Chains A and B, each alone.
Chain A
Amino acid sequence: MSVLVDSDTRVVVQGITGGEGRFHTEQMIEYGTNVVAGAVPGRGGQEVEGVPVYDTVAGATREEDANAAVVFVPPAFAADALFEALDAPLDLVVAITEGIPTQDMSRVYRRLQETDTHLIGPNCPGIITPGETKLGILPGNIFASGNVGLVSRSGTLTYQIVDNLTQRGIGQSTAVGIGGDPIIGTDFIGTLALFEEDPDTDVIVMCGEIGGEDEENAAAYIDEHVETPVVGFIAGRTAPPGKRMGHAGAIVSGSGTGTAKSKIEALGDAGVPVGTTPDDVAEHVETLL
């Protein structure tokens, strides 16, 4: 078992003819992902890595029965691609694209509320159920199949913590990179709810960072609704206020909201141990299994 994706997931890659789309399609297929179609306007009838390309997402769902999309479309056209994916409709849309204008995402998010689709991202590494499938750009070789669910706002930090887990012989049920942008689809709470329902996820690792209040809200949700043990990690303890750290969302505002301290305290109050280093997180998980 796993959340959102497994070996039955049938993937359409939007932007499959671009450099990144092509490369990661190859990587996904190599990992075992069931990539059934590509969608690129004007490229219908072509093939990429043996995968048939359609002009529209609707064509890909109609002809190949795709139920999930991975989006590698450049930022200027990404919102339109997301509206198209939501219109198909699909069960799951994973938006890898970094740099989508925030107002575009606000409109996409508004449309998302009218659908039953799960949107992961944008500006995220994707989602992986080790040994079965991956949708996105995560390096498959560091993951191992197991029973720890992982949800994170950051890509490479996810890899780091997964590596620490795998090195200790701890595998993962599903790892979800929800993305570092100010407006994202499925957030911590949405992902925690899925893991809580999953009988094969025994421990959840939640990996947050400075900025916004998502971690605080997630802590309150854990306190009320999550029985599965959770281990936390917060990046940006040493970030000074008012300085954005890489991600558009990663900033401690002048009035002091979004600090690592407030997030760590909120998680602590919800009974969630917060690791001081990535390996410390893995150690906490080990004791809980």
Chain B
Amino acid sequence: MKLHEYQAKDVFAEAGIPTPESELARTVDEAVEIADDIGYPVAIKAQVHVGGRGKAGGIKLVDDSEEAREAADAILGMDLKGYTVKSVLVEEAVDFVDELYVGVTMDRGVGRPVAMVSTRGGVNIEEVADEDPDAIAREHIDPAFGMHDFQARKAVYDAGIDREVAGDVASILTTLYDLWEERDGADAEINPLMVTADDEVVAADAVFNIDGDALFRQPDLAEMEEKAAGDELEAKANEYGFEGANYVRLDGSVGIIGNGAGLVMTTLDLVDHYGGSPANFLDIGGGAKAERVANALDLVFSDENVDAVVFNIFGGITRGDEVANGINEALAQFDEIPKPVIVRLAGTNAEEGMEILNTDLVQVEATLEDAVQAAVEAATEVNA
């Protein structure tokens, strides 16, 4: 779960990490009023869950009320990589001499947290990691102990941070790690961590992503979640409970529904293999009941790019009869089936499912390969 910059800064500031003076605005008037209060120059920053906001025109530096009004007017409501900007953070512009990077994440390769420090802040840190991995000092943390103070110092000195600010940066890294651990962080990042001419250190940006599986014990953070849907279909997916990674919209014409991430991904790959293009990834999960199946079909039908749907279920926990009932239920509401549906059922209760399935309304195939080929052909025919 991603926090917006303003939310992350609130959490960081509360923990004692210095942040610039700032306030959230949802209207142009609010933004100008806040900017006037803070005093110029200020930065006006779009609050959306996309990377590279600055390059895309989502961050503007302004010197007076008039510029603030123009910038807020341009940014509020703008489309940033498919997401509409609904609020801006109005923030004191920091006069900096240096930009650093500090971050904490889970290194899945070793199963341990890693704290990172670099003097190369203010740029895309993934690019730095690719081009010059030695420019980032990394310190793995034993989760049984947490980060020792010496590890923070080691990371800071290894990264080559100036002596004048090394103590402050180490202390910020320690605070960031403790927050990450206590609040079930996935990624915590300050990029850039700005250094001023007076050797003050300030978090000019803030990233704090929370482990979605841990939200049950972080209720205040869970409340901050804004299910920013890129479009109507993703909003509908959220509504149906196909959240986050279970529904991913793509740009092809073959709608795909299945159970289990690996098998659904494989179905996408097969659509591509047989010359079609997948319209989506939709994993209904294990043990889906009829209603969930019906919702899945309704969701994929709603995608106007979809010309045919392939429904591929290999039952383990999921039962073929439940799936068949769901498909029948979903199709019963139409006088005419809007798009051809090809179904393949295997595994638990597949035979019962086949008997239940209304084969006047759907095409049944026995194997995954046949089902995918039939769906690709059906989609091609629609386009012909």
Contact = CB atoms under 8 A, between A and B. Distances in A.
Q: Do A and B come from the same complex? A: yes
Interface of A: 20, 75-76, 98-107, 109-111, 125, 137-139, 142, 152-160, 163, 180, 182-183, 207, 209-210, 212-213, 233, 235-240, 243-250, 253-256, 260, 276-279
Interface stretch (B30-38, B65-73, B245-253, B328-336): B245-253
Contacts of A155: 260, 262, 286, 316
Contacts of B268: 236, 238-239
B111 A109 contact: yes
Contacts of A152: 262
Interface residues of B, number: 56
Residues of A contacting B: mostly: loop
A266 to B, nearest CB: 15
A103 B316 contact: no
B250 A240 contact: yes
B51 A213 contact: no
Contact of A99 (B213, B262, B272): B213
Contacts of A157: 260, 262-263, 265-266
A239 B186 contact: no
A196 B111 CA distance: 25
A157 B244 CA distance: 21
Contacts, number: 175
Contacts of A103: 106, 113, 143, 181, 184, 211, 214
B150 interface: no
B213 A248 contact: yes
Contacts of B129: 255
A235 B265 contact: yes
A163 B346 contact: yes
B369 A279 contact: yes
Given A106-B143, A238-B272, A255 B130 contact: yes
B314 interface: yes
Given A235-B269, A277-B273, A255 B126 contact: yes
A253 B245 CA distance: 14
Contacts of B213: 75, 99-102, 248
Interface of B: 51, 106, 108-109, 111-113, 126-127, 129-130, 142-144, 181, 184, 186, 211, 213-214, 216-217, 244-246, 248, 250, 258-266, 268-273, 278, 281, 283, 286, 314-317, 346-348, 367-369
B55 to A, nearest CB: 14
Interface centre among B211, B216, B259, B316, by most chain A C-beta atoms within 10 angstroms, is: B316
A106 B144 CA distance: 9
Q: Closest 9 A-B residue pairs measured CB to CB? A: A154-B262, A246-B261, A156-B260, A157-B262, A101-B214, A244-B245, A156-B263, A182-B108, A109-B111
Contacts of B261: 154, 180, 209, 245-247, 250
Contacts of A104: 214
Contact of B347 (A142, A210, A238): A142
Contacts of B126: 253-255
Given A106-B112, A233-B266, 19 more contacts: A101-B211, A103-B181, A106-B111, A137-B317, A142-B347, A155-B286, A155-B316, A160-B346, A212-B108, A235-B265, A237-B269, A243-B248, A246-B246, A246-B264, A246-B281, A253-B126, A255-B130, A277-B368, A279-B368
